[in-house]
Structure 1
Amino acid sequence: MSTSAVLAALPTVRPWLEDLYRHLHAHPELSMAEHGTAARVVEELREMDPDGTAFEIGTGLGGTGVTAVLRNGEGPTVLVRADMDGLPVAEDTGLEYASTVTTMNAAGEQVPVMHACGHDTHVATLLASVRLLLAGREHWSGTLVAVFQPAEEQFNGAEAMVAQGLVDAVPRPDVALGQHVLPGPAGSVQVAAGPIMASCDDFRVTLYGKGGHGSAPHTAIDPVVMAASLVMRLQTVISRQVSPQATAVLTVGRIAAGTKTNIIPEHAVLEGTVRTYDDAVARHCLEVIERTARAEALAWGAPDPLVETFDHLPVTDNSPDATAVVRAALGAELGAGQVRDFTPEMGSEDFSELPNAWGVPYCYWGFGAFDADAWAAAEARGSERHDFPDNHSSHFAPELQPTLDTGVRAMVAATMAWVGRPQP
């Protein structure tokens, strides 16, 4: 198999892969500030191609995005993507290479930074995949477009790359591929056709009251109590105004108001998110949120609130045909028993913004992060999702191996399913 020929060099690059991963894990950067990560990606690409003849490297799209185009004769064009950003989380993993980074965020606050979602594994495994595909060029034919994307956690990195000319900067792909490290047994992958991750619509409601002294609330209009009441009302949007046959989540994740215990403030702000698999349901939820916020203000005799929406992400909807190809390739490389079904979830991703810019099919899958034996034991107890940290946890620490190897093998195998040459 041509895939096996390309992956035959994996043992020789494994020490470099693991060192690269440790470096990335220890040096995370926030969304739209991935300057060091992007520079390291470019450095690694140039070391793979010292005479500068293999790659067409582009930088700066979306702020810190990096693209690398590897043309290798006639054949399909495959886009492969890794996201690069970390999260404002204080790491608590006990790893020798744990992040101790703190930095200033966009609001001017000093915050810790951690690769709590595993984007360090994505960058490392994609660079290793590119390295192996470059070294094994005689085994495939076509064009590889590697995209190292900023700001997935901020929901606008893919959108920014597209807005700044990605479609014209790289060849049009025939298919786009992406993967994400997830809770699951290391060595396994998770894949499914159709909708696997929800759309996202974030909202902000600014409630305006009338300030006053905390000892005389009757002379004021208290936006804090108004906000608390609105949060409780919004909990009935899904349960009472969305069909039980639909899948939707509405969460208020932030409330901000006031400066002192005895001051009734002038306004309160709450922010939340709507997740669903149906655009009509999303629009309905947003309409109900605005109507409910205005009704709440009216009940208090307060001015109309300001209701805003932002950070829209589409449903991640894997192409059935592309997914069938990927699933077969993953099974052939890893073994059918290591290919699990991706259970649809309400989390959201901006990966699909890239293939959607061209209107091309795509497949997005997961690969497991934790010790396989420990996961199997927990699974037998039905406690696997409680015994292991989820993405975004301060304790999220993927097993170094075989997690990294699996990410490389999966990406190479999926890519080779399109560009691989038949073996004689």
Structure 2
Amino acid sequence: MAAFGKDPVWLVIVKAVLIFVVLVLLTLFNIWLERRVVGRMQHRIGPNVHGPFGLLQSLADGVKLALKEDLIPKAADKTVYLVAPVIAVVPSFVTFAVIPFGPEVTMFGHRTPLQLTDTPVAVLFVMAIASIGIYGIVLAGWSSGSTYSLLGGLRSSAQMISYEVAMGLAFVAVFLYAGSMSTSEIVAAQNEKGSFWFALILAPSFIIYCIAMVGETNRAPFDLPEAEGELVGGFHTEYSSLKFALFFLAEYINMATVSAVATTLFLGGWHAPWPIINVWPGADIGYWPLLWFFGKVLCFIFVFIWLRGTLPRLRYDQFMHFGWKRLIPISLLWIVAVATIQSLKDDGGISLKWVLIALGVLAAIFLALSFVGEREPDEDTADEPEDAFAGGFPVPPMPTGGPVRGAARPLVFETVPTHVATAEEV
């Protein structure tokens, strides 16, 4: 923390501009990577024409979006309709202000950390800024004057509330173990001598965060605010041209943001993995840590793409049930366990980090086993015939009274008696 607040203003502006440029370029690369990886999963080629290996395809698509006709619906609240995409995209860039990219380096003759700034509550700052971005989605759905857009915006707000609770609870265990909410100090705590990355020590928190970050970014299989089978396109149905491009940009920047937070809090941040750091002591010096940091971030991006290419979309009731009745209770129990073990740290004896690892493995196994296997039918209802209309299937039963106008009538086949003539009758 002592290294921050000493940079000249021009250097702060340079670092902010560099972060902006890196995030835009990373977005173009992530879009290309997603199309290539999903294409390979579906036995397609993917973009391969514009630029080497199709790397310029994302740039071409961005230019195409900018040149499309910009439409504003008649029923839209014009002011809010235009401001909503900006509210959605700006917080996604601001959250990177407290993400550490590397150690202190020499930049333009000044000794400065590879991080824009840091605060004692940096992780809470990330959550607060991320919560602002949801206002852009909700306002976009409300201001579009469309029922589908409004429902998409409401779904997104409910989704953010549900899964941000689980995400915040996953952070509590990290705060308890690291003893700090500063991102740079959490990275340092994971790389002290004899310590492990928190993804191993706090495995349940890491798993819960990984699930919650997919829900926070509205990505498959949790992309219910944009469900095209139900809501056409969700909150951005009525948007086109650059305004739609801003929502698209915000989604991919948010993917990079939650991946960077996961890297910082659970995977040792910008430090090199243990096999590399043991062989090459200089791997954490200079600008090399940028390679390790973005390598870890891209691994999370690949998981996002992998999920989209393999898992179907959940039903909304399944999605909310999973967040409130599975993730949050398990998070609360895990926090109690971590707090109890931390209180025993001064008593000596057994290594407490191994206790945490063992409890984390058991909790992860319990979480996995709770979803394995189908529910066995009750003994009282096992032999009963299935009701075709159970579960609220939206087809009314056939009328039982007199004829109803427009009602479907069953087909009746009458048997007509036949007589075969004998030879005498002929």
Query: Which of 1 and 2 has greater Rg?
Result: 2
**TM-score normalized with structure 1 length:** 0.25
**TM-score normalized with structure 2 length:** 0.25
**Larger helix fraction of residues:** 2
